């Protein structure tokens, strides 16, 4: 629910602006108050009249509207909201935000504000992938801007790939996560999730069957309790949580670097199924069949990210949670693992194929802590996540 929440919605100039009309409806259905701002380019795609009708509010379009400056200056407009949502956020608008331009109402509001900002980018695939856009995204993330999407898909311009604006309900979920008032408000939670891919050569890799489902459920559950979630994910099957900071990596080494860069945090949860080994001296060319025999792979040990963070002398999160996916002697192995790694809790589960847990939608876990072993009944991964998030909130309250 978003009852009483004030949202300043900046609609940029892209074909996805038509979805912002539905977004306004969805936000208002949930009780939010929506004040729309249309960029000049935005007015080419949706009319101020339809935006005004759907939002039930005046639509702001012009920086030099003197009446508005008298009634409500741009500074006040930008600060009276609980959240600024930019949807669609075009490449141009994101570039302005990253550089600090203030040459129209939307960019001026964004520069003058101390309100959190959520952006839903929408643009052509090549524009999204361009080094300049990627640099701007990195800058905006560093500045604390939260992203939702873009999604992969067919684009209005006839191409396929990342660049489609998130659907209105995805943006609503991100807004709800960002505005959640809960016991974890103001707490930073770092989560690793998904498998890692360890390259053999440029086209082949070693992976595991982790789908990223449990990590994603946890990200959603913790964000719903108000946490600021940083989600470091390997190449997972399921989409990452909405309204959280997502850092995508491939290998264990990259995951470690992303985790180190994301610290400090109050809580760190290591739900990723990190490959224990990587191929030593992975080839930078595709390996070829040869009459001289089969290729030999030799392995090197990957860094243990959980152990590294759990054993930090300085800046250790107050609660470090590991996972233990076992196929036998689950409790004994997990208890030993907790000691060896130095984490506070271990969430242990049996991933034998007959349990259907790895890659499935349910989980049966035991929580191993100082207090001993607590077995939870089999339930959906979403419910495991909600229960665990509640426990985490109680533990660090």
Residue 243, token pair as written in the block: 């309204």
Q: Which of 53, 132, 157, 261 is catalytic?
A: 157
Residue 125, token pair as written in the block: 């695939």
CA distances from 142 to 108, 244, 390 (A): 20, 13, 29
Q: How far is 92 from 142, CA to CA, in rounded Å? A: 18
What value, to the nearest 5°, has the Cα angle with vertex 11 and ends 43 and 120?
A: 145
Residue 221, token pair as written in the block: 């559950």
- Binding ligand C5P (rule: CB under 6 A), the pick from 55, 133, 210, 302 is 302
Nearest-approach distance from CB 346 to ligand C5P, in angstroms:
8
Q: How far is 241 from 76, CA to CA, in rounded Å? A: 32
The residue (of 147 and 270) whose beta carbon lies closer to ligand C5P is 270
Asked if 324 and 343 touch (Cβ cutoff 8 Å), the reply is no
Q: Does 272 bind ligand C5P (CB under 6 A)?
A: yes
343 is catalytic: no
Nearest-approach distance from CB 326 to ligand C5P, in angstroms:
7
Asked if 243 and 176 touch (Cβ cutoff 8 Å), the reply is yes
- Binding ligand C5P (rule: CB under 6 A), the pick from 177, 224, 322, 330 is 322
The residue (of 8 and 259) whose beta carbon lies closer to ligand C5P is 259
Q: Does 233 bind ligand C5P (CB under 6 A)?
A: no
- Choices 45-53, 147-155, 234-242, 296-304 (CB under 6 A): range interacting with ligand C5P: 296-304
CA distances from 176 to 9, 117, 182, 345, 392 (A): 14, 13, 11, 29, 20
- Choices 57-65, 120-128, 298-306, 312-320 (CB under 6 A): range interacting with ligand C5P: 298-306
- Choices 3-11, 68-76, 242-250, 266-274 (CB under 6 A): range interacting with ligand C5P: 266-274
The residue (of 146 and 306) whose beta carbon lies closer to ligand C5P is 306
Nearest-approach distance from CB 325 to ligand C5P, in angstroms:
6
Q: Are strands 198-199 and 205-206 parallel, antiparallel or unpaired?
A: antiparallel
Helices (H), 113-212: 125-129, 131-142, 168-179
User: How many binding residues for ligand C5P (CB under 6 A)?
Assistant: 15
Q: How far is 337 from 342, CA to CA, in rounded Å? A: 8
The residue (of 126 and 209) whose beta carbon lies closer to ligand C5P is 209
Subset of 276-295 contacting ligand C5P (CB under 6 A): 276
Identify the residue whose tokens are 């604390």: 144
- CB neighbour list of residue 209: distance below 8 Å, 6 or more residues apart: 195, 273, 358, 359
- Choices 5-13, 228-236, 302-310, 380-388 (CB under 6 A): range interacting with ligand C5P: 302-310
- Binding ligand C5P (rule: CB under 6 A), the pick from 140, 279, 324, 388 is 324
Beta bridge partner(s), residue 36: 9
The residue (of 110 and 309) whose beta carbon lies closer to ligand C5P is 309
- Choices 74-82, 138-146, 317-325, 375-383 (CB under 6 A): range interacting with ligand C5P: 317-325
Q: How far is 135 from 146, CA to CA, in rounded Å? A: 15
Subset of 243-262 contacting ligand C5P (CB under 6 A): 252
Nearest-approach distance from CB 276 to ligand C5P, in angstroms:
6
The residue (of 39 and 214) whose beta carbon lies closer to ligand C5P is 214
Cis ω for the linkage preceding 176 (within 30 of 0): no
Q: How far is 303 from 3, CA to CA, in rounded Å? A: 46
Asked if 368 and 348 touch (Cβ cutoff 8 Å), the reply is yes
Binding flags for ligand C5P, 192-231, as an x/- string (CB under 6 A): x---------------------------------------
User: Which positions are catalytic?
Assistant: 157
Binding interface with ligand C5P (CB under 6 A): 192, 252, 270, 272, 274, 276, 302-306, 322-324, 337
């Amino acid at each position: 629910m978003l009852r009483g929440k004030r949202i300043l919605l900046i609609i940029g100039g892209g074909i996805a602006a038509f979805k912002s009309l539905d977004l306004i409806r969805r936000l208002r259905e949930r009780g939010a108050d929506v004040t729309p701002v249309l960029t000049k380019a935005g007015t080419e795609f949706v009319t101020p009249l339809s935006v005004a009708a759907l939002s039930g509010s005046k639509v702001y379009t012009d920086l030099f509207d003197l009446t508005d400056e008298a009634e409500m200056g741009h500074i006040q407009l930008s600060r009276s909201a609980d959240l600024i949502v930019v949807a669609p956020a075009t490449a141009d608008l994101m570039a302005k935000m990253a550089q600090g331009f203030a040459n129209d109402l939307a960019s001026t509001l964004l520069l003058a504000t101390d309100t959190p900002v959520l952006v839903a980018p929408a643009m052509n695939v090549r524009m999204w992938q361009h080094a300049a856009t990627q640099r701007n995204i990195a800058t905006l993330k560093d500045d604390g801007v939260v992203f939702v999407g873009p999604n992969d898909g067919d684009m209005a311009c006839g191409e396929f790939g990342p660049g489609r604006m998130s659907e209105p309900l995805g943006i609503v979920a991100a807004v709800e996560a960002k505005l959640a008032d809960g016991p974890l408000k103001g707490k930073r939670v770092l989560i690793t999730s998904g498998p890692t891919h360890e390259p053999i050569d440029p086209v082949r890799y070693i992976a595991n069957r982790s789908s990223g489902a449990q990590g994603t459920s946890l990200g959603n559950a913790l964000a719903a309790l108000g946490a600021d979630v940083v989600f470091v994910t390997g190449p997972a099957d399921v989409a990452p949580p909405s309204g959280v900071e997502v850092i995508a990596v491939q290998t264990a080494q990259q995951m470690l670097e992303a985790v180190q860069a994301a610290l400090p945090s109050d809580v760190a949860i290591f739900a990723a199924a990190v490959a224990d080994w990587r191929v030593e001296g992975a080839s930078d060319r595709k390996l070829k069949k040869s009459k001289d025999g089969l290729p030999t792979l030799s392995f090197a040990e990957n860094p243990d990210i959980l152990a590294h963070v759990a054993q930090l002398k300085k800046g250790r999160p107050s609660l470090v949670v590991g996972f233990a996916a076992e196929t036998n002697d689950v409790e004994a192995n997990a208890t030993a693992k907790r000691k060896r790694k130095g984490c506070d809790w271990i969430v242990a589960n049996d991933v034998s194929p007959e349990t259907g847990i790895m890659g499935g939608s349910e989980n049966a876990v035991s929580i191993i802590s100082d207090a001993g072993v607590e077995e939870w009944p089999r339930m959906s991964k979403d419910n495991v996540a909600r229960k665990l998030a509640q426990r985490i909130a109680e533990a660090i309250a």
